[in-house]
Amino acid sequence: MAASRMSQWGNDLYTGKRSYAIVGHRRRWYYVSAALLTLSVLLLVVRGLNPSIDFSGGAEFTLSGVSDTSQQPAVDAITAIAPDSVPRVAVIGTSTLQVQTGTLDDAQVRQAADALAAAYSIPVADVSSSFVGPNWGSDVTGKALRGLIVFLVLVTLVMTVYFRAWRMAVAALVALLHDLVITVGLYAGVGWEVSPATVIGFLTILGYSIYDTVVVFDKVRENTAKTLEQKRYTHAEMANLAVNQTLVRSINTSVVALLPVSGILFIGAFLLGAGTLRDIALALFIGMIVGTFSSIFIATPVAVTLREREPAIKAHTEMVLAARQAATGSTGMPLEPVRVGASVPGVHLGTAAQPKRRKPNRPAGRKP
């Protein structure tokens, strides 16, 4: 029953029988987006990012087979050897601890391993150590930034060439930066470490967001290709139909993508203690939700706002609204909303899916 209603709702959105004024209420979404961006920037300024040892450098100890996973013994053992180094202790699974410290010399590393083994009553052989230099972390950071810049440049070029409109490329970049800032800000608010896996998650959600935006923009281009050849609907109204037509697809894609990510985040990280997966899972979880929001409520409204600055689109919109005001006394949506298959001179809005009709059965031996 629920599936039937969902299917009917999607069909009504596609044909225009049901419509939400997403583009028409774009100021409302701009305010929501501005609030989220402000919150994210404040979290970045106040709390800041928490770089892992891979970026800041230092020593890392892994304790296997511990019976007591309380963190205070590890903190006491490390601060007794290196008072200036405040360790980070994480529980992995049910019997493993991960202890990260600042930079230690070889003697301090050996002393720390012995102290940790004594604190948790395990053999020294069960304490493994590794060292990461700060130069490696800065190299990873530089490569991540270069990758981000190259990605944004390529997205701008491809979007401009494919849609033959730089305004859509600008709108897509606005949506991407919107997703990146909010995702990074909320991640900083949670306080988890930023590891190389986190950076991979950030770059992955940019690809997911641009894919969703391209699908919506492709429908916008199809619906608005001949806007100026008709006098019934404005450019914004025909773009709004495109957003409604792709709304169900965006929601379904996001739900399907979030299910495995949610499993990794909530079941793997919280219940099973798979701490090595929670960084990328949290980045993907936040980014996919924000990316879906931006592809629906930010990207197309921004593209429409930019296009309405064009003299031809602006004049056409004023002409349509003036004619509607004279005919109905209102400049709001017409009595008949934009619909698939509508008879609009010069504009093709597609056709709605119709059920196949079965041929009537005829008695045997009788010719039609």
Per-residue pLDDT reduced to its tens digit, 243-261: 998 988 888 888 888 988 8
Q: Residues 145, 238: one domain?
A: yes
Q: Residues 78, 145: one domain?
A: no
pLDDT on residue 335: 40
Q: Residues 40, 172: one domain?
A: yes
Q: Residues 75, 143: one domain?
A: no
Q: Residues 163, 25: one domain?
A: yes
Of 290, 307, 324, which residue constitutes the final position of a domain? Answer: 307
What mean pLDDT do residues 298-325 have?
91
Of 113, 132, 151, which residue constitutes the final position of a domain? Answer: 132
Q: Residues 195, 83: one domain?
A: no
Lowest mean pLDDT across 53-62, 126-135, 206-215, 341-350: 341-350
Helix 275-297 / helix 166-190 crossing angle, nearest 10 deg: 140
Q: Which residues pair with 352 in a beta bridge?
A: none
Are 93 and 66 spatial neighbours (Cβ–Cβ below 8 Å)?
Answer: no
Specify if 329 maps to a domain.
Answer: no
What is the three-state SS of 175-221? HHHHHHHHHHHHHHHHCCEECHHHHHHHHHHHHHHHHHHHHHHHHHH
Q: Residues 89, 210: one domain?
A: no
Specify if 7 maps to a domain.
Answer: no
Q: How many domains does the chain have?
A: 2
* Alpha helical stretches, state H, 82-192: 106-119, 134-163, 166-190
Q: Residues 253, 128: one domain?
A: no
Q: Residues 186, 279: one domain?
A: yes
Q: Cβ neighbours of residue 183 under 8 Å, at least 6 residues apart?
A: 202, 205, 283, 286, 287, 290
Specify if 8 maps to a domain.
Answer: no
- DSSP type of residue 124: G
Q: Residues 34, 144: one domain?
A: yes
Specify if 368 maps to a domain.
Answer: no
Specify if 270 maps to a domain.
Answer: yes
What is the pLDDT confidence band of residue 66, given thresholds at 50, 70 and 90? confident
Which is more confidently placed, 356 or 170? 170
Q: What is the CATH number of the domain that holds 241?
A: 1.20.1640.10
Q: Residues 166, 217: one domain?
A: yes
Specify if 207 maps to a domain.
Answer: yes
Q: What is the CATH number of the domain that holds 100?
A: 3.30.70.3400
Range of the domain at 220: 13-50+139-307
What mean pLDDT do residues 27-36 have?
95
Q: Residues 105, 246: one domain?
A: no
Specify if 353 maps to a domain.
Answer: no
